[in-house]
Amino acid sequence: MRIAKVKKRNGSVVDFDRGRIERAIEKACVATGAGVASGFCASVADDVIRVLDQKHGEHTPGVEEIQDVVEMTLAERGLFEIAKAYVLYRREHADARMHRQEDILERIERRDIHVRKRSGERVAFDPLEINAAVADGCRGLEEPVDIDGIIHDTERSLYDGITTSEIDLAPIMAVRARIERDPVYSTLAARLLSNKLYKEVLDVRERAVKNGWRPFE
């Protein structure tokens, strides 16, 4: 069975794109000045996918797991310089993500992040709303939940001009990334998703009423 899906760092699941593996390997080759035969990157990608299929089966691998296999595959082929360049490539991207996330957290503290409401209005992001939503979802759960970690990961995924719908989705993604650690996060994700859908239904109803629709008596 060929791998079909990949779990991103924020917990979302997307279609697997082998082209991303090939492009990253190609960049590592260019960085070392190594001349490689036509089809080399595709050949490495084939080996990576074969290992992932054997290792994970029905399990959906994460981005970091795939990158680990790429490193291992390059090293097993004796391509240590290219493997080293690939490690540096990963580190540079990780550093860039960290800087972006730190910038977002600083802007949140300054109240410099704005939310685009469904009406088009831009308002300042209020972190207390996410705190309250996560805390409300955790109410009554017997197992301990990393509320602070969820809120922190949620805030790191924000950006200026984010929509209210995306904000509602952000903590769900942060929780989904933790489901494999403890089943309690599956319950929390379901609760947050239910609240999101409920808010969307109310919003649709409110807009319909404003446009002249009247519910049946």
| Sequence-distant contacts of 87-92: CB under 8 A, at least 24 apart | 88/31, 89/24, 89/27, 89/28, 89/31
At 170 the three-state DSSP class reads: helix
Q: What is the pLDDT of residue 199?
A: 76
Q: Which of 74, 105, 136 is the last residue of a domain?
A: 105
Q: Taking the CB of residue 3, how many other CB atoms lie within 10 A of it?
A: 19
Instruction: Tell whether 18 and 47 lie within a shared domain.
Output: yes
Residue 217 inside a domain? The answer is no
Q: What is the pLDDT of residue 207?
A: 62
Residue 216 inside a domain? The answer is no
Q: Which of 80, 105, 130 is the last residue of a domain?
A: 105
Q: What is the pLDDT of residue 72?
A: 92
Domain that holds residue 116: 111-210
Residue 215 inside a domain? The answer is no
Q: What is the pLDDT of residue 70?
A: 92
Q: What is the pLDDT of residue 96?
A: 81
Q: What is the pLDDT of residue 195?
A: 84
Residue 124 inside a domain? The answer is yes
Distance CA 189, CA 183 (A): 10
Q: What is the pLDDT of residue 205?
A: 60
Residue 200 inside a domain? The answer is yes
Distance CA 54, CA 40 (A): 21
Q: What is the pLDDT of residue 204?
A: 59
Q: What is the pLDDT of residue 196?
A: 83
Number of independent structural domains in the chain: 2
Q: Which residues fall within 8 angstroms of residue 60, CB to CB, at 6 or more apart?
A: 5, 6, 7, 13
DSSP class of 5:
E
Q: pLDDT 10s digit of each residue in the chain, 217 long?
A: 577 888 887 777 888 888 999 998 888 888 888 776 678 889 999 999 898 888 876 778 888 899 999 999 999 988 899 899 989 888 888 888 778 777 888 888 888 888 888 778 888 888 888 888 888 888 888 667 888 889 888 888 888 888 888 888 889 888 888 887 888 888 998 998 888 887 777 665 666 556 666 655 4
Residue 20 inside a domain? The answer is yes
**Looking up tokens 């109240």, which residue turns up?**
111
Q: Which residues fall within 8 angstroms of residue 156, CB to CB, at 6 or more apart?
A: 101, 104, 105
Q: What is the pLDDT of residue 216?
A: 52
**Looking up tokens 């957290």, which residue turns up?**
105
Distance CA 29, CA 82 (A): 6
